[in-house]
């Protein structure tokens, strides 16, 4: 069976909710780029999945809508909202168009590990620019493209530091992980770091922050090989 985000939605929701150190680390890396108090701020969470980041933004006081093209992910997000209301709202929509989101309607767009799933980055950044007010912010995370390139693997014997072998960083495009326990079995768009940054600049964003947070103790307990390598890239851009 060829997996999609919709077919792995139940697995993904279960994984996130039973406490995934990597997902919580990625969430917190993104949230670090936003104010602690979001009262009065309208936020779009692009590619919200089952709502991990959307709920956290609502708990900070933001007026948040999460969108995702997977109806099953949105079903999980709505079920969580019903069980424990945070004020977050959800819609099925595609990050490449944001058809359900009005022009100039939000101060913030967040995108946690989702822009690397959108096939057309130019369309997505253009849609993000459209929905943001002038002076609004885009904050997003992607798996670090330099270390999570297609078919990257671990190296290192007993007497060496573990490292990441990346052979085809320059080859952008869709790829699917062969790992049956990995989210990227649903597919992933590999892009160079410069492609993300250039796309923001070309769409009139001023880059405010570029971060490569070091894996924390919880992540290293689960995945000790990751010591010394940042799993995610965080980028913030200000819409001119
Ligand atoms: C790794 S999950 C991240 C979900 C959530 N942001 C989180 O941090 O848990 C990637 C999400 O991107 C979504 N996605 C895939 N294609 C997309 C698109 N074209 N536009 C927006 N989101 C998309 C998937 O459905 C999935 O929910």
pLDDT of residue 46: 99
pLDDT of residue 161: 79
Lowest mean pLDDT among 101-115, 145-159, 164-178: 145-159
Question: Binning pLDDT at 50, 70 and 90, where does residue 25 land?
Answer: very high
Question: Binning pLDDT at 50, 70 and 90, where does residue 33 land?
Answer: very high
**What is the fold, at CATH topology level, of the domain defined by 9-144+191-239?**
Rossmann fold (3.40.50)
> What kind and span of H or E run contains 175?
strand 173-175
Residue where the block lists tokens 């099925």: 92
Q: Quick check: 115 and 233 in contact, CB under 8 A? A: no
Q: Domains of the chain: which residue ranges?
A: 9-144+191-239
- Ligand 1 site, residue 70, Cβ cutoff 6 A: yes
Residue of 26, 47, 58 with the most ligand 1 atoms within 8 Å of its CB, for mutation: 47
Lowest mean pLDDT among 74-78, 88-92, 130-134, 159-163: 159-163
pLDDT of residue 1: 83
**Closest residue CA from atom 22 of ligand 1:** 47
Which residue in 103, 125, 108, 96 sits closest to 37, CA to CA? 108
Which residue in 194, 64, 38, 218 sits closest to 121, CA to CA? 194
Residue of 12, 18, 22, 49 with the most ligand 1 atoms within 8 Å of its CB, for mutation: 49
Residue where the block lists tokens 């609502």: 58
Mean pLDDT of 144-148: 96
Rounded Cα–Cα distance for residues 78 and 84 (Å): 10
pLDDT of residue 82: 98
- Ligand 1 site, residue 16, Cβ cutoff 6 A: yes
| pLDDT score of 160 more than 80 | no
Counting every residue written for the chain, the total comes to: 240
């Amino acid at each position: 069976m060829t997996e999609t985000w919709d077919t792995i939605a139940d697995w993904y929701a279960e994984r996130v909710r039973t406490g995934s150190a990597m997902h919580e680390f990625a969430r917190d890396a993104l949230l670090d780029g936003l104010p602690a108090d979001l009262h009065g701020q309208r936020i779009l969470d692009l590619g919200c999945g089952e709502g991990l980041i959307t709920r956290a933004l609502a708990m900070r006081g933001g007026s948040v809508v999460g969108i995702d093209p997977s109806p099953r992910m949105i079903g999980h997000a709505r079920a969580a909202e019903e069980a424990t209301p945070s004020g977050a709202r959800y819609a099925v929509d595609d990050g490449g168009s944001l058809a359900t989101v009005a022009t100039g309607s939000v101060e913030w767009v967040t995108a946690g590990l989702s822009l690397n799933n959108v096939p057309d980055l130019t369309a997505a950044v253009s849609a993000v620019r459209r929905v943001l007010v002038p002076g609004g912010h885009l904050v997003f995370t992607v798996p670090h493209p330099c270390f999570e390139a297609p078919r990257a693997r671990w190296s290192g014997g007993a007497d060496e530091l573990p490292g990441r072998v990346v052979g085809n960083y320059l080859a952008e495009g869709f790829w699917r992980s062969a790992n049956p326990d990995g989210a990227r079995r649903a597919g992933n768009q590999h892009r160079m770091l410069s492609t993300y940054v250039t796309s923001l600049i070309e769409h009139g964003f001023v880059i405010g922050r570029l971060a490569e947070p070091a894996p924390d103790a919880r992540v290293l307990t689960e995945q000790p090989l990751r010591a010394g390598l940042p799993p995610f890239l965080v980028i913030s851009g200000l819409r001119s």
